[in-house]
Amino acid sequence: MQAQEKTQIEDATPEAIRSTPWIECNSTDTSGNNQLYQIYLCVDTTGKNLIEFPVFPKGKCGSEIEFRKA
């Protein structure tokens, strides 16, 4: 697996879509590493435009997130 800093994911995504994502990790793997589970984006009431989250959902990831190598 390959680790990536959570902040690298958070910083790269707004550049591409101009919105800050919320990153969710699943439980840690057998080595205790966080694994990326989902990336959430917030949309307006029309469902057509990305907006900033008014309040971020609860949950946390560590500062490093594991990715499986393809």
The DSSP bridge pattern shows strands 64-67 and 2-5 to be antiparallel
Give the whole-angstrom CA distance, residue 50 versus residue 53: 9
Q: What percent of the chain has pLDDT over 90?
A: 11
What is the model's pLDDT at position 46? Answer: 95
- What is d(CA 25, CA 1) in angstroms, rounded to the nearest whole number? 15
Give the up-direction half-sphere exposure of residue 37: CA atoms within 13 A in the CB hemisphere. Answer: 14
pLDDT digits (tens, 9 = 90+) for 27-51: 677 777 788 888 888 999 999 988 9
What pLDDT was estimated at residue 42? Answer: 92
Alpha carbon distance 70, 18 (integer Å): 28
How many Å apart are CA 18 and CA 2, to the nearest integer?
26
